[in-house]
Structure 1
Amino acid sequence: MSQPDWNARFAETEFAYGAEPNSFLVQNASWLKAPVLSIAEGEGRNAVFLAAQGLNVHAVDSSHVGLAKAERLAASKSVIISTEVVDLQDFAPEPNAYGGAVSIYAHLPSPLRTRLYPLLVKTLKPGGVLILESYAENQIGRGTGGPSNLDLLMTCDKVERELVGLETILLQETEREVIEGKFHTGLASVIQYVGKKPI
């Protein structure tokens, strides 16, 4: 989905993916140390949750409309997040800058993942943790959310090939009910990953 489409999606009053955080992130947030980088953050539900846990969070997204909504959500919860409008094609976070990184339903084409994922590993400090949840290739045809382009969907094998340099804490494909706004609703096949940068 291109940036103008994301701006249009996020322009609606309601939150496209809900205002509550992703449940897999909630279950594993204790792994994260500040500061935390959240890519493709959208309307801020996950960044605001992490900020409410006392973490400094830097949220990046291509949609200025989504991030403006994220800042309003943060203000409504009396927390502060930092935001940055970026095209992930050009995004290059500083090495050894973050104690955690979060990629929740950031469905990226494989050439972009090949460029970006090594940078996410490098931006983690030693001991830093990356948390990822994505729709799996097996999500195709379910009609409960996610892209219809196979290249944008993940498998455990893709994670192992593309996120090199982290020690796997958890990697699995599972089916679960995803209830996150009107675009992510229903039984879904997902990839879940937690990886730690060696100390």
Structure 2
Amino acid sequence: MIVPAVLSFSHALVRQAIDEGGIAVDATTGNGHDTQFLAECVGPAGKVYAFDIQQEALARTKQRLNERGIANRVALIHAGHHEMDQYLPVEIRGKLQAVMFNLGYLPHGDPTVITRPETTLPALETATVWLTPGGVLSVVLYTGHPGGPEEAEHVLQWAQSLPPKTFQVMHYQLLNRQQAPSLVLVEKRKQAA
């Protein structure tokens, strides 16, 4: 048996929901790995909206995208993920094929600037509204930093409360590794079950 790492598993599942020319959101840009992944998935005709509150994260992401020649597929937005509905074009509401969250803090950045439940939970709620039927929302949870376990607990409670007729929810976690990241994946059903 081969157990995939959480991030690669997240990408494998999200990739299945995105079509060439699709629309996606990276709600926590960080170093740009998920932004790059989404830009490659949507292709030249698609669009990715990438959010981060740190200018440093956006600069790193812009460099990554420029080096790969795919920066034109991405709108980098200097704002928190809880504000996404203020920045996304209204005409794409209900059309997002994927929204990715990678919680915690910017690697090699200021570890005191972290995602928090008071902004993450409203952002997750907004994402479910903007998803298209068949679209997915992925949330990578990190618990190895101050505030991480509490945020993960809030996200899991939120995910468990989603109505099963509208959403399918999965939690992927390594059980024999303390503080290993875990993945919550939410799929918006194409039709009510």
The two structures have a TM-score, normalised by structure 2, of 0.69
Distance 1:169 1:110, change over 3 A: closer
Question: SS of the residue aligned with 1:24?
Answer: helix
CA distance in 2, matches of 1:65, 1:47: 15
In structure 2, distance between residues paired with 1:147 and 1:175 = 21
Identify the residue that residue 110 of structure 1 maps to in structure 2. Answer: 117
Query: Identity of paired residues, percent?
Result: 15
Q: Which has the higher strand share?
A: 1
Q: CA deviation at 1:191?
A: 2.8
Asked if 2 retains the 8 angstrom alpha-carbon contact of 1:133 and 1:193, the reply is: yes
- In the alignment, the residues of structure 2 paired with residue 24 and residue 87 of structure 1 have an alpha-carbon distance, to the nearest angstrom, of 25
Distance 1:176 1:76 in 2: 38
- Aligned counterparts, 1:146-185, within 5 A: 146-148=145-147, 150-154=149-153, 156-161=156-161, 163=162, 166-168=166-168, 170-175=170-175
AA aligned opposite 1:52: E
What runs of 5+ residues in structure 1 fail to find an aligned partner? Answer: 1-20, 140-144, 178-186
SS of the residue corresponding to residue 22 of structure 1 reads: helix
CA distance in 2, matches of 1:125, 1:70: 26
Matched residue type, 2:33: R
Aligned length: 161
Distance in 2 of aligned mates of 1:198 and 1:115: 20
1:132 — aligned with what?
139
Mapped contact 1:156–1:191 kept (Cα < 8 A): no
- In 2, the alpha carbon distance for the partners of 1:152 and 1:57 equals 26
Residues 33-44 of structure 1 mapped to structure 2, 5 A cutoff: 33=18, 34-44=22-32
Against the structure 1 CA distance between its residues 62 and 22, is the aligned structure 2 distance closer, same or farther, given a 3 Å change threshold?
same
Deviations along 1:42-89, whole A, 9 cap, x unmatched? Answer: 221111122223353211111122112211100111212221111334
Match of 2:110 in 1: none
Question: Is contact 2:117-2:151 (8 Å) kept?
Answer: yes
- State the distance in 2 between where 1:39 and 1:164 align: 23
Is the contact made by 2:49 and 2:77 (CA closer than 8 Å) also made in structure 1? yes
- Is the CA contact 2:14–2:98 (under 8 Å) kept in the aligned structure 1? no
**1:46 alignment partner in structure 2:** 34
Distance 1:160 1:100 in 2: 19
SS at the partner of 2:70? coil
Secondary structure of the residue that 2:83 maps to in structure 1? coil
Which residue is equivalent to 1:23?
A: 8
Q: What does 1:39-78 align with in structure 2 at a 5 Å threshold?
A: 39-53=27-41, 54=43, 56-78=47-69
User: Does the CA-based 8 Å contact 1:38-1:59 persist in structure 2?
Assistant: yes
For 2:169 and 2:82, locate their aligned partners in 1 and report how far apart those are by CA, in whole Å: 28
Q: Which residue of 2 aligns with 1:85?
A: 78
Whether the 8 Å CA contact 1:22–1:46 is kept in 2: the answer is no
The CA deviation at 1:197 is 1.2
* Partner residue, 1:189: 180
Unaligned runs of 5+ in 2: 1-5, 105-113
1:39/1:102 contact within 8 Å kept: yes
Quick check: which one's helix share is greater?
A: 2
126-135 vs 93-102, greater mean Cα deviation: 93-102
Aligned AA (1:119) = T
